[in-house]
């Protein structure tokens, strides 16, 4: 029984580390996932960013906004009825990378 338990831990540890390190690195892909998620930033309205900005529509000029993170938080607090994100958080940085990737 004890052996089995140790084996479980050994199998589980790398998995935990992998998901932790994945969490730490913001990426465009992560941003795209969050953008399309109705659970992003504690959203409670059943909406995702993509509900109103499908495929990132009309956001390609948003990148010139000097307070883009603030605008994203406005849309989180307002339409998503979620919890605003810290500007340095992995989630916010990923969303910003995603929006930047739409730049034409
Ligand atoms: C209920 C609809 C709705 C939802 C959901 C929504 N937005 Fe918005 N968003 C708007 C409206 C309306 C505006 C302001 C008018 C405009 O710029 O088109 C806006 C503006 C923006 C802008 C500024 C655009 C610019 O050109 O400067 C950004 C960036 C943005 N939203 C990102 C997001 C993100 C990220 C999410 C998800 C967290 C989100 N929005 C969710 C409706 C929504």
Q: Where are the domains of the chain?
A: 26-101
What pTM was estimated for this model as a whole? 0.82
| Atom 15 of ligand 1, nearest CA residue | 58
Give the right CATH number for 26-101 from 2.40.170.20, 1.10.760.10, 1.10.540.10, 3.40.50.10420. Answer: 1.10.760.10
Q: Using alpha carbons, select from 82, 73, 103, 97 the residue that is nearest to residue 25.
A: 97
pLDDT tens digit string along 33-71? 999 999 999 999 999 999 999 999 989 899 999 999 999
What number of other Cβ atoms are within 10 A of residue 61's Cβ? Answer: 10
Distance (angstroms) between ligand 1 centre and the Cα of 27 equals: 20
| Atom 25 of ligand 1, nearest CA residue | 62
């Amino acid at each position: 029984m004890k052996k089995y338990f140790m084996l479980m831990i050994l199998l589980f540890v790398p998995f935990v580390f992998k998901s932790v390190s994945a969490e730490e690195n913001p990426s465009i892909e992560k941003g795209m996932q969050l953008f399309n998620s109705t659970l992003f930033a504690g959203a409670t309205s059943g909406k995702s960013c993509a509900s109103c900005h499908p495929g990132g529509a009309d956001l390609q000029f948003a990148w010139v906004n000097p307070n883009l993170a603030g605008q994203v938080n406005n849309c989180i607090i307002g339409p998503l009825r979620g919890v605003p994100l810290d500007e340095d958080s992995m989630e916010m940085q990923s969303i910003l990378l995603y929006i930047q990737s739409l730049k034409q």
